[in-house]
Amino acid sequence: MKKRTFGPGIFIGGFLLYMLIPIVATYMFSVATRWDRTILPEGLTFEWYKTAFADRWFLIVFKHSLVISLSTVIASMVIIVPTAYWVHLRVPEARPILDFISTLPFAIPGVVLALGLIRLYARPPWMLARTPAMLVAAYVIFTMPFMYRPVVNSLKAVNIKVLTEAAQSLGSSWIRTLGQVILPNIMPGIISGGLLVFATIFGEFTIATFLVGARFKTFPMQLVYYTRRDGRIASAYSVISFSIAWVSSLVILWIATSWAKRSSSGGSVVGKDISSR
Amino acid sequence: MKSVPSHHTKRKGRWLDWIPILPFLLLCFAIMILPLFFMLWGSFTSADGQFTLQHYAEMQASIYAKSFKNSILLSGVTAIIGVAFGSVVGYFICQLKSKRAQELVTALCDVTSNFSGAPLAFAFIVVLGSNGVLTLALQKYLGWGIYPEFSIYSFSGLILSYSYFQLPLMVLLIIPAIAGLRREWKEAAFGLGASNFQYWRHVGIPILSPAITAGLLLLFANAFGAYATAYTLTEFRYPLVTLQIGFLMKGEVFRDPGAGDAMGILALLLMSISILLYQFVSKRGIKWQR
Amino acid sequence: MSYLDLIHLRKAFDETVAVKDFNLQVEKGEFVSLLGPSGCGKTTTLRMIAGFEIPDNGSIVLSGEEITSIPSNQRGMGMVFQSYALFPNMTAWSNIAFGLRVHRVSTAEIKRRVNELLDLVGLSDDGHKFASELSGGQQQRVALARALAIEPRVLLLDEPLSALDAVVRVALRNEIRRIQSALGITTIYVTHDQEEALSISDRVVVMRQAEIEQEGTPEEIYIQPQTPFVATFVGTINQFEGILKDSERGLVSCCGGELELSITPDAAAGLSKGEALTVFVRPEEVLVGDAGSQDNSFQAVLRSVTLLGPVTRLNLELQGQTVYADIRTIDRHRYVLDKSVQMSFRRDSCRCMREGEALNENSAHH
């Protein structure tokens, strides 16, 4: 069982380079004065960021994307969380149906969803296909698996049934059970889902372009616009977009690990024992 | 099977219990099911409302056929690249001694698997565009002038950029499967006289095969449905299914709704089959983990 | 020279020493158990024999051949794991056939051998099943058959029955012994269950904290423990701390002078007056009632009664010390709680130890 020690290093090293170079290059490009003739940037500057921010469109698209993302997160939570909880607790036979539905969005490419929505809703007398509201609705469906999975995993892991029964046996009302027992325990799942939805929607280009197009510009649309006009501004936009995405990812990871530590002692262990019978 | 404690009687409660789920189901219906059925209907309907197969026949026309061919090729190639390299990288990550290092690399995969679309395409232009960092570096240090034979705005450019988000996705998928390879299986095989190669051939890889197949299917679907990355790199110059559909939708007036519908339905068919197979294979893989 | 020689084996992981200085000689066809609590080094020792761990020091010699640095897949040893480790992608049949395929045995021969082994372990009709379709006991039998298929020179078992129900455990351990006897395969068996070790082994090696405490036949281990640890780990035992009062007559003063025990002169011979020692007596040797021995006879109070099956354990209080006495369950109604009871034990039922070492070596009078 001889171990070749350079094999793993080469593969992982190569992998890391492949992953990091484009990211690092983008970040550096956004602060480079000029970088199309030399290996390293010719100079450093924040000029591109200044220009980007100075443009009145920046605030507009940023605001638009923020509003859409937050609306989607809230709408998603409001619709999906209670549904998942209700099904889990009261209508278990609906669970497989919901599980199946939650995987459907993966099979629908963004363009096709946009196409379908426009074909159906963009003709009179509807005329509501091209509104931000429709965009949010489409996004809720598009990111449904991202919110549904973590919430359902939370529900299962915390063994909602047993906790509810325990609370009831101690005399707790429905509302109190919901607020003080259930929600706090599935909050990590909800937050993870929310962050994932937020990061995904903030950077979503395809559906936004076709559904709301020129009437309601979003951040990614502006980014694409600049990739054709001025790469340096585009890189500033890229950095912002990507930073939001990976900060969200890291927060999700942090939540996942700290929650795992917390639930390894206490209620969930008991729950698992009972449910395995 | 113990039933859920309910305040309502079993018979009457049943119907009422489904009511709170309705908003969700209605939304799914309105946004997913209905438009898709409309598309299906539209793909079989001509401009004057008659039933027709013409739209599907049109799919044989060069531009559409080419789009499908290219999309399938691109998705297939990047799926294979992603699975092959992703599995190997995933395996080596699991071999890392330090838990910390493992967590870091896994976190990196988590983050980069979401780095797709326009920012990614743009990043690749910065790195491998005609004046890109790597392009210049290769020219300067190795004397390799990769342009004009290579271009980031071509098929190979698409492969490179698509592989970027395919690889980490596969790594994330394969790591639980590799972690599930219990040490005792390897020891048992060795104790029975097997060589390293025999262990992998008869035990290791067969046990990993559901994850690998699942990976191929998921990565295929992932690439097939991608739009923004390709659009940013090639706009509409390079025929891909998603780009073609987008092209048909550009502007306020629809160019050819029937063809768009037909394309959409065919794309959906392909994607659905991939995702369904993926689900099926994933569930089978879980069975072996006990 | 013996069949399997383990010489000065030592293994450490980072700061912890798992095995300090393990020496053992195993004869061909012998069934040896390594017995001890978790962390005593028994599994590490087994894994070194198998080749999954490389010893820091020492050597392993099998049939005259030094195998210490030979890789595990060339040692010809069959290993049975606690978690069965059946290959999940193969049927029971294929699992058993695996070792034979690796050794390029002909298909016809494989078929013959596998069927033979399935019969041997009593699973003739279950060859087509996968691990997930078999019970724990069945899986372990497949694992055993798989290890036996390659006709190993040494059979290694790592706590094979720990994951099974008590009833299955007893049945299976007898079967393992039966098969091993019939085939005459040298076997090393690791367990923390002393009843298991005592009932099926030719020899038992009791281990503790990386060292061997005592090695001998089950009888020697149980009836003549050499150290306090072995005495208390294997079975239950009563322990009296005392000081030697009279060397000639063998009198020991315990419980602050309140209790005087008689031990054999042989045991007392090695001690001088005033020296501290520990006297061990098994509960089954403590006789209750009038028809007892004269050597050590006392009145004790019955505090509680525990039914253990065919044996009932009386919890007696003697001069503030707890003494266990085992009686037959059918006799239990003779004794009333909180009442005085006559208890006694013979002199040669006493196992004496001074500073962790046994004193009487010739207690074969039973």
pLDDT at C20 (0 to 100): 93
pLDDT at B226 (0 to 100): 92
Residues 184..243 of A with a Cβ closer than 8 Å to B: which?
Answer: 199-200, 203-206, 210, 220, 223-224, 227, 231, 234-235, 237-238, 241-242
CA angle in degrees (0–180, nearest 5) for A198-A203-A204: 95
Residue C78 and residue B192: Cβ atoms within 8 Å? yes
Q: What is the mean pLDDT of residues C89-107?
A: 89
C196 and C246 part of one domain: no
pLDDT at A188 (0 to 100): 82
pLDDT at C193 (0 to 100): 93
- Answer whether A260 touches B (CB < 8 Å): no
- The Cβ of residue A2 has, within 10 Å, a number of other Cβ atoms equal to 6
pLDDT at C27 (0 to 100): 95
Task: Dig out the tokens for A134 from the structure.
Answer: 């429709």
Task: Dig out the tokens for B285 from the structure.
Answer: 């893989």
pLDDT at A261 (0 to 100): 63
Q: Is residue A121 scored above 70 in pLDDT?
A: yes
Residue B232 and residue A227: Cβ atoms within 8 Å? yes
Task: Dig out the tokens for C223 from the structure.
Answer: 């009836």
Q: In angstroms, what separates the C-alpha of C247 from chain B's closest C-alpha?
A: 57
Residue A27, in any domain of the structure: no
pLDDT at B4 (0 to 100): 47
Show me where the domains of chain B are located.
Answer: 63-289
Q: Which chains touch A (3 or more CB pairs under 8 A)?
A: B
C268 and C134 part of one domain: no
Residue where a domain terminates, one of C178, C203, C226: C226
**Nearest neighbour of B267 by CB, restricted to A29, A109, A235:** A109
Whether the CB-CB separation of B87 and B81 falls below 8 Å is answered with no
pLDDT at B53 (0 to 100): 83
Phi, psi (rounded to 5 degrees) for B118: -60, -50
CB-based burial of residue B141 (10 Å sphere; 0-12 exposed, 13-18 middle, 19+ buried)? exposed
Residues of A in contact with B35 (CB under 8 A): 113, 116-117, 119-121
DSSP string, chain A: ----SHHHHHHHHHHHHHHHHHHHHHHHHHTBS--SSSSS-S-B-SHHHHHHHHSHHHHHHHHHHHHHHHHHHHHHHHHHHHHHHHHHHT-GGGHHHHHHHHHGGGGS-HHHHHHHHHHHHSSTTT--TTSHHHHHHHHHHHTHHHHHHHHHHHHHHHTHHHHHHHHHHTT--HHHIIIIIIHHHHHHHHHHHHHHHHHHHHT--HHHHHHTGGGS--HHHHHHHHHHH-HHHHHHHHHHHHHHHHHHHHHHHHHHHHHHHHHTSSHHHHHHHHHT-
Q: In angstroms, what separates the C-alpha of A194 from chain B's closest C-alpha?
A: 15
Residue C231, in any domain of the structure: no
The residue whose two tokens read 């006009």 is A229
Residue C361, in any domain of the structure: no
Which residues of B lie closer than 8 Å to C, measured between beta carbons?
182, 184-185, 187-195, 198, 202-203, 206-207, 287-288, 290
Q: What is the mean pLDDT of residues A191-208?
A: 90
pLDDT at B212 (0 to 100): 93
Q: What is the mean pLDDT of residues A217-243?
A: 88
Q: Closest Cα to residue C120, out of C147, C102, C94?
A: C147
C219 and C240 part of one domain: no
pLDDT at C219 (0 to 100): 94
Bridge-based pairing state of the strands C211-216 and C57-62: unpaired
Residue B207 and residue C73: Cβ atoms within 8 Å? no
What's chain B's average pLDDT? 85
Residue A97, in any domain of the structure: yes
Q: What is the mean pLDDT of residues A92-106?
A: 88
| Containing structural domain, residue C31 | 4-226
Q: Is residue B288 scored above 70 in pLDDT?
A: no
Q: What is the mean pLDDT of residues B191-202?
A: 92
Split at pLDDT 50, 70, 90, the class of B76 is: very high
pLDDT at C25 (0 to 100): 95
Q: In angstroms, what separates the C-alpha of B205 from chain A's closest C-alpha?
A: 18
Q: Is residue A50 scored above 90 in pLDDT?
A: no
Residue A17, in any domain of the structure: no
What's chain A's average pLDDT? 81
Residue C76, in any domain of the structure: yes
Q: How many CA atoms lie within 13 A of B18 on its CB side?
A: 11
Residue A94, in any domain of the structure: yes
Bridge-based pairing state of the strands C251-254 and C238-246: antiparallel
Q: Which chains touch B (3 or more CB pairs under 8 A)?
A: A, C
The CATH number of whichever domain residue C213 belongs to comes to: 3.40.50.300
CB-based burial of residue B192 (10 Å sphere; 0-12 exposed, 13-18 middle, 19+ buried)? buried
Q: Closest Cα to residue A84, out of A137, A143, A177, A150?
A: A150
Chain C residue with the nearest C-alpha to that of B185: C85
Q: C214 to each of B68, B128, C30, how far by Cα in Å? A: 76, 71, 17
Whether the CB-CB separation of A159 and A272 falls below 8 Å is answered with yes
Whether the CB-CB separation of A250 and A196 falls below 8 Å is answered with no
The residue whose two tokens read 């367990």 is C191
**Nearest neighbour of C132 by CB, restricted to B191, B206, B290:** B290
Side chain identity, residue C3: Y
C20 and C69 part of one domain: yes
Whether the CB-CB separation of C11 and C55 falls below 8 Å is answered with yes
Residue A220, in any domain of the structure: yes
Residue C72 and residue B190: Cβ atoms within 8 Å? yes
The CATH number of whichever domain residue A208 belongs to comes to: 1.10.3720.10
Q: Give the ipTM.
A: 0.84
C52 and C28 part of one domain: yes
C52 and C129 part of one domain: yes
Q: Is residue A173 scored above 90 in pLDDT?
A: no
C188 and C66 part of one domain: yes
Q: What CATH code would you report for B63-289?
A: 1.10.3720.10
What is the Rg, in whole angstroms, of the alpha carbon atoms belonging to chain B?
Answer: 24
C209 and C312 part of one domain: no
C331 and C245 part of one domain: yes
CB-based burial of residue C189 (10 Å sphere; 0-12 exposed, 13-18 middle, 19+ buried)? buried
Q: Which chains touch C (3 or more CB pairs under 8 A)?
A: B
Residue B191 and residue C83: Cβ atoms within 8 Å? no
Which residues of C lie closer than 8 Å to B, measured between beta carbons?
50-52, 71-79, 81, 83, 85, 87-90, 98-99, 101-103, 131-132, 143, 146-147, 149-150, 156
Q: Is residue A272 scored above 60 in pLDDT?
A: no
Q: CA C25, CA C320: separation in Å to the nearest integer?
A: 45
The CATH number of whichever domain residue C260 belongs to comes to: 2.40.50.100
Residue C359, in any domain of the structure: no
Q: Closest Cα to residue C85, out of C146, C128, C33, C127?
A: C146
Q: CA C267, CA C275: separation in Å to the nearest integer?
A: 13
Domains: count for chain A = 1
Residue C365, in any domain of the structure: no
Of C218 and A128, the one with more pLDDT: C218
pLDDT at A171 (0 to 100): 74
Q: Is residue B59 scored above 90 in pLDDT?
A: no
Split at pLDDT 50, 70, 90, the class of A126 is: low
Q: Is residue A45 scored above 90 in pLDDT?
A: no
**Nearest neighbour of A235 by CB, restricted to B23, B122, B167:** B122
Residues of B in contact with C83 (CB under 8 A): 182, 184
Residues of A in contact with B40 (CB under 8 A): none
Residue B193 and residue C89: Cβ atoms within 8 Å? no
pLDDT at B145 (0 to 100): 76
Residue A262, in any domain of the structure: yes
Range in B7-11, C78-82, C127-131, C352-356 the model is least confident about: B7-11
pLDDT at A276 (0 to 100): 26
Q: What is the percent of chain C with per-residue pLDDT over 90, rounded to a whole number?
A: 60
Q: What is the mean pLDDT of residues B15-44?
A: 88
Residue B207 and residue C88: Cβ atoms within 8 Å? yes
Give B93's contacts (C-beta < 8 A, 6+ positions apart).
A12, B102, B105, B106, B171, B175
Q: Is residue B16 scored above 90 in pLDDT?
A: no
Residue A80 and residue B24: Cβ atoms within 8 Å? yes
Whether the CB-CB separation of A65 and A220 falls below 8 Å is answered with yes
Residue range A127-170, pLDDT digits in tens? 666 788 889 999 999 999 999 988 988 888 877 777 777 777 77
Whether the CB-CB separation of C312 and C327 falls below 8 Å is answered with yes
Range in A15-24, A27-36, B80-89 the model is least confident about: A27-36
Residue C360, in any domain of the structure: no
Strand order in the sheet with C203-208: C77-80, C154-158, C186-191, C31-35, C203-208, C211-216
Q: Closest Cα to residue B222, out of B14, B75, B66?
A: B75
What's chain C's average pLDDT? 90
pLDDT at A47 (0 to 100): 79
Residue B192 and residue C102: Cβ atoms within 8 Å? yes
pLDDT at C21 (0 to 100): 93
| Containing structural domain, residue A107 | 53-275
Residue range C220-272, pLDDT digits in tens? 999 999 999 999 999 899 999 988 888 888 888 888 777 888 888 877 887 88
Of C35 and A4, the one with more pLDDT: C35
Residue C81 and residue B290: Cβ atoms within 8 Å? no
Residue B31 and residue A110: Cβ atoms within 8 Å? no
Domains: count for chain C = 2
Q: CA A111, CA A205: separation in Å to the nearest integer?
A: 10
Residue C73 and residue B195: Cβ atoms within 8 Å? yes
What is the three-state SS of B190-241? HHCCCCHHHHHHHHHHHHHHHHHHHHHHHHHHHHHCCCHHHHHHHCCCCCCH
* C contact test, residue of B186, B192, B281 with most C CBs within 10 A: B192
Q: What is the mean pLDDT of residues A107-113?
A: 91
Residue where a domain terminates, one of C200, C226, C252: C226
Q: Is residue A216 scored above 80 in pLDDT?
A: yes
Q: Is residue C6 scored above 80 in pLDDT?
A: yes
Residues 90..109 of A with a Cβ closer than 8 Å to B: which?
Answer: 90-92, 94, 98, 101, 103-109
Give A162's contacts (C-beta < 8 A, 6+ positions apart).
A267, A270, A271, A274, A275
Residue C87 and residue B287: Cβ atoms within 8 Å? no
